[in-house]
Structure 1
Amino acid sequence: MNVRKKAMPWLSMLLVVALMAGLLPAGKVTHAAESVTGIRFESNISPVYVLVEGQSTQLKVIATIKDGTTEKESDVTDKVSWTSSDSKIVSVDAGWVKGVGKGSAEITAKYQGYTIKKMIVADMMYEKLVVRTTDGGQEVPSELTVNLGMKPKWSVFALDHQRAGESNVTEEATWSSSNTSVADVNKGVITLKEKGETEITVKHKGLSYKVKLKVDMPYNELKIMPDKVVEFTFGDSSKSVTVIATKPDGSTEDVTALAEWSSSDKNVVEVENGVLKPINVGTATITVSYLGKTDTVTAVVRASNQAMRITPDKKQHVMLSQGVVSLQTFVLAMDNSTKEVTQEAEWTSSNVQAVTVDKGIVRLHGAGDATITAKYQGLSRKVDITVYPSITKIEWAEAVKPDKDGDTKRKEEMFINDVKSLPKIQGTTFSGEKVDVSNVVQWTSDNPNIVKIEEDGKMKALETGTVRLVAQVSGQILDMDVTVTRKALILHTDQDELSLVTAREVSVPTVTVIYTDGEEADVTNDVKWESSSNNLLVYDGKMRGLVPTSRLTLNGTFSNVKLSIKVTIEEEIVSLTIDPNPVYTTINKSESVKVTGKYRNGKTINLSSRMNWKMENESIATVKGSSVKGAALGSTKMVGEFQGKTYEVPVHVKPKLLKLEGTPSSIKLTPGQSAAWKVQAIYDTGEVVDVTSQVTWVPSNTKVKVSRGSVQGVSKGSTSIKISFGGKSTTIRTSVK
């Protein structure tokens, strides 16, 4: 065929493609169809034989694919779905089959709807495993008893099917112990740990061999001889002990050199092969262990002296410029005699950059902290030392605030018997660094009877007065004043609440102090007053309210105690009305008194509860708040005070009115006719009083005309005349005919 004649010009081909593209749906491209027509294993061998735990064998699957009129074959092994009929016999993964256990299984491969199968037979590489002792070659039985201390070592051999030979597979095999706390195994080497049972398993190429191993104790007990406390005095030579092991048959064996020895405190006693060496004073437990058995004995190292002390024994604070510090050490012998051992003791410093020590002489080399230790025949004592650098000046660690006069001198206040820490002082070094030098300050008091300097950096107040305390460090000094006063227990004033009038000046309350010793004193002029509000001005023993305020607090301070007074500031009352005035009441009857005050602006206020009323004669009447109660017949007066003014109200206690009686009780009249009537009051005292001139009356209608003491008929009919007096009433009936 002439290809050139069949070929289209490239432009014509481009037009054809364009036309086809226009006819096809957007986004779709046509391909020739491919289809799988079958699958097969690459190898026809069946069954396939594999070894248990041997190398894997691959099965490959070939698919026949039809592409139009063309067929081709393709390896689809990695696309196939693989399964095994018994994965405990044969496993399969991506076509790789492996023997797991002896037997046969069918491998299935599925792809594109096609399924093929192949039989796989798994067999053992060896017939069996045999375990023998490495040293003697004897076969190890399935059950074996051994004793702690033994070191079993086994080898494993794999026998082939023809028994033509065997292979030593000890290194390749897998070894395991079911109870590693009893015995462990590593490539045939058995490590016995404690009494008990375990199972040793060896596996190789699908075969296994198990040995039930029982571990026993070779000895019933260990015994250290002698079994009493091993005693030493510091400096003694070593002592030996022996350990005897008792076997189950009762026989004994000296295992001193074979056993493992340990000491609970090697700083007290060391031990090796039963030899105990004393090191230091103390107690240690010596333990011996051998083949699962242990025993202990106590070793004690006693000091050759009772006790030891170092002088001085308190922490030392010294300036570097001091150069040296001398220490001494003493021991108390067993016969209670005292001996200085400063020269014989072993002296050490924990910080040789700061200090060194030799025979009790501590030499200062630099600023820092160190611990000086003295040791002598098993005893030791320590003392701490702090070395401070040289300083150029000292100052208070806390700045002193100027007082109201601008004085910046430090001042302290104390009470008798108080103990207080001395203030902290800091020094400035040559390099400008600030250092706390409080512990090296030397304090003095110009009057120890008032304030005494204690040894522990404190000051104690003994008597009242003022003293000067001086602090000195390396020629630098600071001083302070300390004032000692008595300690107050309580402050007392007779005014718990105050009511002030705006712009009116009054004196501060009188205040009495009660000291802890029971003594009292007027300290009004010494109390420092402070108001909780700027609306109250306090100055020079006086106070003045500036703006009306419903409630504020006046606080007073004296010595170590305080008091508070509630204060009310209000406008001036220009007039005050009391109702009733006077007050009339009866025995055991209460009468309320209302007090109304008026301000300059015309507003009023109820002051009934603020008058603080007092009764002049409480046998006649009593007053509580704004309520007056009669006690006995008679007259008295009550007195109240408000805003500095005094008010008096008469109080009269009268008999109690029991009833009224009208006479006559009924009257008959004709029109125009008149008749007289009167009313009598009957009291609880039995007194009868004509009160006609004081009563009020009200007729029920106009049939009669009523005037005080008389009644006149007007028209025919009946009328009731109600007559009242003192809270009681009575009725006179009239009829006109």
Structure 2
Amino acid sequence: MSRIKWAFRSMLALVIALTVAVPSSAWAATGNVISIEIAGGSKQKMNVGETKSFQVMAKVEGFDHEQDVTGGVTWSTSNAAVVTMSKGKVKAVAAGEATIVAEVEGVKAQVVIQVQDKIKSIKASPSSYTLVKGNENTLPKVTITRANGKEEDVTSDIVWTVSKDMAVLEGGKIKGVTPGRVLLQGKYGSTTVRVPVAVTDIITKVEVTPSTIQLNLKKSKAIKVIGTYANGKTVNLSKSIVWTSSNPSVASVKNSSVKALTEGKTTLTGTYQNQNLTVEVTVVPKLQKLIMGQKNLTLSPQSTTTIGVMAKYDTGKTTMVTTSAVWSSSKPGVATVTNGKIVAVAKGKTVITAKWDNKKVTIPVTVK
């Protein structure tokens, strides 16, 4: 009877060995299975919808090294509502916890599967990098949002790779090696986040145009930034600069465009490769027109009178600009004007003009 049992066990072991994916690791037809172990540990995590295969290694009599017996394993699950088994693959079907059991020749091993809600989105911060050749930066922080709305910081669980050798990963940092573009990829289980990385040469000079800006309310103006490399070549950096406004209520800046919001002054600051950039912005109301105190004048020779000029803006604001305006008379022999003071000289007609900013206003004067 013992001989029959021994022969049956040996035949079973041989059949299982022949089903192993890698024949060189198959366990022998002779000897008993002492113990088995599921690779990856006794507790593992999966996400809803994820499918995973587990490797099973066995200690077998007569062998110094563990043997791969995955192909000969009989699997079972403690909770098919959480995880199911099919052809050696585990599928996570619902959030919860289940134990899967692997069995070979009556020897068992188990692993607890913690199934979490499906990942709805994954986000890296920062979402992109610009690295100077030879410089490095800390790898991004990564968060996931599950289907139930819960957010998790999974930074420490991300496995990072780079698509090209223009950048390398060293000690939790990414380092620029060669100018060009590379993709930093982070994998969390079966979910991947991608972060574009631009590696650039050293910029020796940065020029900002214009360095001072005057804008009317609600108007916008683009800022142009040109960088120069050591070899003399130039590059447009306008969209690479992140600007900050010292007074964001006066003017905001987005994608290199400044927009005037309220009257006042602000300073825009930015950096590129440790070079500080500034732009001074002044927001002023738009001058609509100049208004004189009278529409026409009639004077007698040698008489005098003074008229005022008011500036009216698009905000409804008005300001007296009499002494700031530039005055002139079309016929000084008839009447002269200084800072709004008109002196009648001789009989005739003339036109008095006041100019201020980009506007002007006139008044006809008759001397009789």
Same fold (TM over 0.5): yes
Cα pair 1:509 1:524 within 8 Å, conserved: yes
Go from structure 1 to structure 2 and tell me whether the alpha carbon gap of 1:626 and 1:728 turns closer, same or farther (over 3 Å shift).
Answer: farther
Residue deviations 1:501-556, cap 9 Å, x none? 1111110111112234433222212211111111011233200111110x321111
Equivalence for 1:688: 321
Matched AA of 1:534 = D
Partner of 1:391, secondary structure, is helix
Residue segments in structure 2 that go unaligned for 5+ positions in a row: 26-36, 57-68, 292-308, 327-353, 363-368
Residue 579 of structure 1 deviates from its aligned partner by 2.2
C-alpha distance in 1, partners of 2:166/2:142? 22
Matched AA of 1:595 = V
Go from structure 1 to structure 2 and tell me whether the alpha carbon gap of 1:632 and 1:604 turns closer, same or farther (over 3 Å shift).
Answer: same
Cα pair 2:325 2:356 within 8 Å, conserved: no
Equivalence for 1:620: 250
Percent of pairs identical after alignment?
27
C-alpha distance in 2, partners of 1:421/1:609? 43
Residue 574 of structure 1 deviates from its aligned partner by 2.7
C-alpha distance in 2, partners of 1:523/1:401? 38
Equivalence for 2:175: 544
Say which of 234, 241, 256 aligns to 1:611.
241
Is 1:399 matched up with 2:32? no
C-alpha distance in 1, partners of 2:48/2:223? 56
Matched AA of 2:21 = E
Go from structure 1 to structure 2 and tell me whether the alpha carbon gap of 1:535 and 1:659 turns closer, same or farther (over 3 Å shift).
Answer: same
Go from structure 1 to structure 2 and tell me whether the alpha carbon gap of 1:543 and 1:454 turns closer, same or farther (over 3 Å shift).
Answer: closer
Cα pair 1:499 1:643 within 8 Å, conserved: no
Residue deviations 1:322-370, cap 9 Å, x none? 9xxxxxxxxxxxxxxxxxxxxxxxxxxxxxxxxxxxxxxxxxxxxxxxx
Structure 1 length-normalised TM: 0.31
Go from structure 1 to structure 2 and tell me whether the alpha carbon gap of 1:562 and 1:654 turns closer, same or farther (over 3 Å shift).
Answer: same
Cα pair 1:420 1:459 within 8 Å, conserved: yes
Q: What pairs up with 1:407-426 in 2 under 5 angstroms?
A: 411=39, 415=46
Residue 449 of structure 1 deviates from its aligned partner by 7.9
Go from structure 1 to structure 2 and tell me whether the alpha carbon gap of 1:552 and 1:449 turns closer, same or farther (over 3 Å shift).
Answer: same
Residue 608 of structure 1 deviates from its aligned partner by 1.9
Cα pair 1:449 1:463 within 8 Å, conserved: no
C-alpha distance in 1, partners of 2:194/2:73? 42
Q: What pairs up with 1:331-480 in 2 under 5 angstroms?
A: 390-393=11-14, 394-395=16-17, 397-399=20-22, 411=39, 415=46, 442-443=74-75, 469-473=101-105
C-alpha distance in 2, partners of 1:441/1:482? 17
Equivalence for 1:134: none
Residue 557 of structure 1 deviates from its aligned partner by 0.6
Cα pair 2:131 2:198 within 8 Å, conserved: yes
C-alpha distance in 2, partners of 1:521/1:400? 42
Matched AA of 1:471 = E
Residue 646 of structure 1 deviates from its aligned partner by 5.0
Is 1:640 matched up with 2:266? no
Partner of 2:239, secondary structure, is helix
Equivalence for 1:596: 226
Go from structure 1 to structure 2 and tell me whether the alpha carbon gap of 1:469 and 1:582 turns closer, same or farther (over 3 Å shift).
Answer: same
C-alpha distance in 2, partners of 1:681/1:728? 11
C-alpha distance in 2, partners of 1:400/1:687? 98
Partner of 1:632, secondary structure, is coil
C-alpha distance in 1, partners of 2:153/2:23? 32
Is 1:510 matched up with 2:141? yes
Matched AA of 2:22 = A
Is 1:497 matched up with 2:125? no
Cα pair 1:410 1:480 within 8 Å, conserved: yes
Equivalence for 1:564: 194
State how many pairs are aligned: 278
Residue deviations 1:172-227, cap 9 Å, x none? xxxxxxxxxxxxxxxxxxxxxxxxxxxxxxxxxxxxxxxxxxxxxxxxxxxxxxxx
C-alpha distance in 1, partners of 2:46/2:12? 34
Go from structure 1 to structure 2 and tell me whether the alpha carbon gap of 1:618 and 1:444 turns closer, same or farther (over 3 Å shift).
Answer: closer
Partner of 2:131, secondary structure, is strand
Residue 636 of structure 1 deviates from its aligned partner by 1.7
C-alpha distance in 1, partners of 2:90/2:143? 30
Go from structure 1 to structure 2 and tell me whether the alpha carbon gap of 1:483 and 1:534 turns closer, same or farther (over 3 Å shift).
Answer: farther
C-alpha distance in 2, partners of 1:659/1:616? 32
Go from structure 1 to structure 2 and tell me whether the alpha carbon gap of 1:557 and 1:658 turns closer, same or farther (over 3 Å shift).
Answer: same
Structure 2 length-normalised TM: 0.58
Go from structure 1 to structure 2 and tell me whether the alpha carbon gap of 1:518 and 1:603 turns closer, same or farther (over 3 Å shift).
Answer: same
Residue segments in structure 1 that go unaligned for 5+ positions in a row: 1-320, 323-386, 403-408, 426-436, 662-679, 694-722, 732-737
Cα pair 2:325 2:355 within 8 Å, conserved: no
Cα pair 1:488 1:560 within 8 Å, conserved: no
Is 1:573 matched up with 2:194? no
Say which of 88, 100, 119 aligns to 1:488.
119
Residue 628 of structure 1 deviates from its aligned partner by 2.3
Go from structure 1 to structure 2 and tell me whether the alpha carbon gap of 1:411 and 1:650 turns closer, same or farther (over 3 Å shift).
Answer: same
C-alpha distance in 1, partners of 2:236/2:22? 56
